[in-house]
Chains A and B, each alone.
Chain A
Amino acid sequence: MSGPVRARTLHRSGEAAPPAGQPGSRSPSGFWETLADLADAFQPTLFRRLGEELDSCIEHIPAEVNEYGYDRYGFHPGAFRRMSLTSALFYRHYFRVETYDIDRVPPGPVLLVCNHAGQLPFDGMMLGAAMLLEAKPPRMVRPMAEYWVSRLPFVSTMAARMGSMVGTRENCTRMLEAGECVMVFPEGVRGMNKLYSQRYELQRFGLGFVRLALLTRTPIVPVSLIGSEEQQPGLANLKGFGRLLGMPALPITPTFPLLGPLGLMPLPVKYRFYFGEPLRFEGDPSDEPAAIQEHADVVRESMEAMFERGLREREGVFR
């Protein structure tokens, strides 16, 4: 890991810091410092502060809930707030997310198109947290899940409580017509399970999001995320095992399945979201694939340009 390392005293004030060369002093990598920052940050007041910040953001989000606190799709603001606390913790203290040009996201209906990587959808979680915590005014993002997510116990319920829904054309259209912000990852599992050697190479895009944008005349904001591509380096993908478990493929990483489910936990990389200029396409949503691919290519180019900028500007993977 390259880049400058932030000096940190790991001992309480009053005690002298140990001399260099002893355990607890600076290491050249920056990785241990990051872990130490994390441990430092974990205090009870942290939760209260984050909770208050979240409450003030969630106030801005309109939600039509019934007598039991659920909207008709299963979204529950109380559960959303609890899960957002976890997201906010990761946002501020684990991935230490930075956003660039988030005010480019226009009000009203919008499609956020982002790259997908890292075996687990922390990218979606963090993009949602970014729009909640950083956007002015705060916006709730509707993640679109793949069908197989609805088949998983617990995950499917949690996803619904957070406002996620299955990414069918009818659902997406309904959300966009209601003026919502919808988050799409056109690389799908191809992106999530991509191997470490393919990092920052955009995989094939599913073209549904372009048709959706044309149908509902919604602007597309390309988003490039620097950091997720290195959070869980993929060494191989086992399709056979994956099918047994009801997933598209079973990823093999340095820590998974070696350390069991915990092995999928991402490394504390630093996330940087770059938001591009909104793209407004016109055309026939049922046009032939070649015409639709042209629009998708414009989005890809925008994202690739932001990758270049982000990779050039960053100082290190973890810092």
Chain B
Amino acid sequence: MEKVLITGIAGGLGRIVAGCLSQEHEVVGVDTAGAPHAVRGNKSYAVDLRKPEFEEVIRSERPQAVVHLGFIRHFRGSERERHQVNVEGTRSLIAHCVKHGVERLVVLSSGYVYGAFPENPYQIDEDAPLSASRNYPEIRDLVEVDSLASATIWRHPDLVTSVLRPVNALGPTIDSTVRAYLAQPRVPTVLGFDPMLPFIHEADLATAISLAVDRRLCGVYNVVGPGEAPVHTAIEETGGTAWPIPDPPARWLFERLFRWGLLPYPAGLLDFLKFPVSLAGERFEKATGFRCQYGLPEIFESVRR
């Protein structure tokens, strides 16, 4: 059986992907936090990707494929630390994969890297520039990780690398930004704006990642779900109450609340609540035959309070 190493196995998505892949692969997990809820029978290591101990794991385990989900996606800690962990961790991972003959690498990037602007096309395809850093500097580490992983495709052609940029992933287990956003008691929105937000169910995203591993995908791919729903519909359907705030005061308020730790994400998210960011998913669908199993009503049902 092929061996797949998953970084970030302790996270919500890590557990689901491990469950998905365990059926036909031997799964080994790595996470700074260890893997207290690891899938039964799978080995896991509590190790930091930036440390030499991680190279020892790769050397001893010799996985055929690596799935990189090990990122800090929340904003609770220091921004500088997060940047270091994500970018340096990815650089170190790629270097070790190349050195120890790993065959395939799947890196989970994010649909946010394109940034939210009114001049974005309605279906952003993979060739669009990654402009998130312009208005949302707090996620520039995600942009840089994406760029690092994409460069690996041509820099190290022996390592078959695929970069996946999914839309908003939602589900009971996953710890995504949009989950944190919709789970708030009063969900802030920008007064007068109601853009279409694309969603994908966590199980479908895990299936997509497994497909990327199995089909030996090479390249950059958007991963899209069943469709889009307006922000207010998403809030209503998940049992929340919208709290519309007019824009210039909203940005000021968000910045303050975030700085005081009362808001789980910075003001850059506001643009995603004003301008639609919808991705074109044809490339991935054509390459893998991927079809979503969960529609929008099921996605919202799964996180309804």
Known A150-B118, A150-B275; judge A156-B229 contact (CB<8 A). Answer: no
Q: Which residues of B contact A168 (CB under 8 A)?
A: 119-121
Q: Which residues of B contact A155 (CB under 8 A)?
A: 192
Shortest Cβ gap from A147 to chain B (Å)? 5
Q: Do B297 and A153 touch across chains, with their CB atoms under 8 A apart?
A: no
Most buried by B among A165, A168, A170, A171: A170
Interface residues of B in 263-290 (CB under 8 A from A): 274-276, 278
Q: Do B246 and A165 touch across chains, with their CB atoms under 8 A apart?
A: no
Q: Do A154 and B276 touch across chains, with their CB atoms under 8 A apart?
A: no
Residue of B at shortest CB range from A158? B192
Question: Number of B interface residues, CB 8 Å?
Answer: 29
- Cα A147 to Cα B119 in complex, Å, equals 6
Q: Do A174 and B228 touch across chains, with their CB atoms under 8 A apart?
A: no
Task: Give per-residue flags for B239-253: 1 if the beta carbon is below 8 A from chain A beta carbons, else 0.
Answer: 000000011000000
Q: Is A67 an interface residue (CB 8 A)?
A: yes
- Cα A18 to Cα B226 in complex, Å, equals 67
Q: Do B121 and A156 touch across chains, with their CB atoms under 8 A apart?
A: no
Residue of B at shortest CB range from A165? B122
Q: Which residues of A contact B118 (CB under 8 A)?
A: 147-148, 150-151, 156, 166
Shortest Cβ gap from B45 to chain A (Å)? 43
Interface residues of B in 221-236 (CB under 8 A from A): 226-230, 233
Shortest Cβ gap from A80 to chain B (Å)? 14
Q: Is A12 an interface residue (CB 8 A)?
A: no
Q: Is A45 an interface residue (CB 8 A)?
A: no
Residue of B at shortest CB range from A151? B118
- Cα A150 to Cα B192 in complex, Å, equals 11
Q: Is B296 an interface residue (CB 8 A)?
A: yes
Q: Which residues of A contact B105 (CB under 8 A)?
A: none
Q: Do A153 and B296 touch across chains, with their CB atoms under 8 A apart?
A: no
Task: Give per-residue flags for B92-120: 1 if the beta carbon is below 8 A from chain A beta carbons, else 0.
Answer: 00000000000000000000000000111
- Cα A157 to Cα B196 in complex, Å, equals 10
Q: Do A70 and B193 touch across chains, with their CB atoms under 8 A apart?
A: no
- Cα A150 to Cα B190 in complex, Å, equals 13
Q: Is B185 an interface residue (CB 8 A)?
A: no
Q: Which residues of B contact A160 (CB under 8 A)?
A: 194-196, 276
Task: Give per-residue flags for A31-68: 1 if the beta carbon is below 8 A from chain B beta carbons, else 0.
Answer: 00000000000000000000000000000000000111
Q: Do A153 and B192 touch across chains, with their CB atoms under 8 A apart?
A: yes
Residue from B119, B196, B247 within 8 A of A166 (CB atoms): B119
Q: Which residues of A contact B147 (CB under 8 A)?
A: none
Q: Do B193 and A157 touch across chains, with their CB atoms under 8 A apart?
A: yes
Interface residues of A in 123-161 (CB under 8 A from B): 147-148, 150-157, 160
Q: Is A248 an interface residue (CB 8 A)?
A: no
Shortest Cβ gap from A161 to chain B (Å)? 8
Residue from B119, B120, B194, B227 within 8 A of A72 (CB atoms): B227
Q: Do A170 and B296 touch across chains, with their CB atoms under 8 A apart?
A: no
Q: Which residues of A contact B191 (CB under 8 A)?
A: 153
Q: Do A73 and B196 touch across chains, with their CB atoms under 8 A apart?
A: yes
Residue from A66, A68, A74, A153 within 8 A of B276 (CB atoms): A74
Q: Which residues of B contact A170 (CB under 8 A)?
A: 121-123
Q: Do B121 and A157 touch across chains, with their CB atoms under 8 A apart?
A: no
Shortest Cβ gap from A173 to chain B (Å)? 9
Q: Do B295 and A67 touch across chains, with their CB atoms under 8 A apart?
A: yes
Known A166-B118, A168-B121; judge A156-B295 contact (CB<8 A). Answer: no
Q: Do A154 and B192 touch across chains, with their CB atoms under 8 A apart?
A: yes
Residue of B at shortest CB range from A73? B122
Q: Which residues of B contact A147 (CB under 8 A)?
A: 118-119
Residue from B229, B246, B278 within 8 A of A153 (CB atoms): B246
Q: Do A66 and B228 touch across chains, with their CB atoms under 8 A apart?
A: yes
Q: Mind listing 15 A-B residue pairs with CB under 8 Å? A: A66-B226, A66-B296, A70-B229, A70-B230, A73-B196, A147-B118, A150-B118, A151-B274, A153-B192, A153-B246, A153-B247, A155-B192, A160-B276, A171-B121, A171-B122
Q: Which 5 A-B pairs have the closest CB atoms?
A: A153-B192, A150-B118, A170-B121, A154-B192, A157-B194
Q: Which residues of B contact A (CB under 8 A)?
A: 118-123, 190-196, 226-230, 233, 237, 246-247, 274-276, 278, 295-297
